[in-house]
Amino acid sequence: MSARYSKHHGLGNDFIVTLTDSLPLDAVDRAVALCDRRTGIGADGLIIGIERPDRKVVMRLLNSDGSPAALSGNGLRCFAQAVAINRGVPHLELDVDTPAGVRHCSVMATDDKNTVVATVDMGVVCPGPDPDVDDLMDAVGPSVGMVKRWETGDIGNPHVVCEVDDPFEVDLAVAGPALEAHFEEGANVHFVAVTGFNELTVRVWERGAGITKACGTGATVAAQLFHNWDLVGPKVVVRMPGGDALVDLAGPLTLTGPATHIADFEVPDA
């Protein structure tokens, strides 16, 4: 027997997706094994989709280290594409049950048969966790660079957003884990700059995955916080190393960007 999987990426944030009828008991072990970039297929996370008889779907995401994530904007788009492919349809309106709540996804085909554009409901950005120190920047020292201001936000997973002049001047491999270490349950860390009219540039350190090319929830939280600081308007282009996403803060909070199907494969059961 073997299990079927597909691999997708959203702006370089890559995921392995499997659609099944129940959550595997060895899900954590599967995530660690499959996501390993040397001995497995390689990915930032494993998404397990459970299709119910009423055609509603449940999505569960495990990071590459096996830890759970309540929500991923890029992962949600990739998952919606996988469901559309499984159903054999070019366009799809889909409600997805995640640990962060039900999220609506709209999938539209493009001229590239392997790529769709998806708009996903991201919920609400709430205040994030407090660090375990009084002054976070003093605690981590100069490795984070010159931070103008910072704030935390939560959108089903926790984020630390730091405004800097140039995100690419930050030693992300040092500053990311240094900041994350001061949060009891960890956090995604983002270094962000305003680089144009209603435009942000973001570099990402993700809890459970490390440096990634993009983070959909992080893009959304960064856009909301920078809007709260009166630095951008309600529609924000977020530029990340993997590409651009659009965050719309007017009305329901949504994230729009591509999802690309890379390959299908099977893995024999152990």
At 58, which amino acid appears? V
Task: State how far the Cα of 240 lies from the Cα of 190, in Å rounded to an integer.
Answer: 10
In terms of Cα–Cα distance, which of 203, 252, 201, 205 is closest to 223? 201
Matching fold, domains 2-122+256-268 and 126-250: yes
**CATH superfamily of this structure's domain 126-250:** Diaminopimelate Epimerase; Chain A, domain 1 (3.10.310.10)
- pLDDT digits 0-9 by tens, 179-230: 999 999 999 999 999 999 999 999 999 998 999 999 999 999 999 999 999 9
Architecture of domain 2-122+256-268: Roll (3.10)
Give one DSSP letter per residue of 113-168, joined into a string.
TTEEEEEEEEE--EE-PPPSSS-HHHHHGGGG--EEEEEEEESSSEEEEEEES-GG
Residue 196 CB: number of other CB atoms within 10 A? 11
- pLDDT digits 0-9 by tens, 85-110: 999 999 999 999 999 999 999 999 99
CA distances for 98 relative to 48, 59, 62, 155, 233, angstroms? 11, 5, 12, 12, 29
Nearest 5°: CA angle at 81, between 4 and 34? 40
pTM of the model: 0.93
Query: Beta strand 68-69 with 92-98: parallel, antiparallel or unpaired?
Result: unpaired
In terms of Cα–Cα distance, which of 261, 267, 202 is closest to 79? 261
Number of residues in the chain: 270
- pLDDT digits 0-9 by tens, 31-54: 999 999 999 999 999 999 998 877
Domain map (residue ranges) of the chain: 2-122+256-268, 126-250
Q: Is 174 helix (H, G, I), strand (E, B) or coil?
A: helix
Residue 133 CB: number of other CB atoms within 10 A? 11
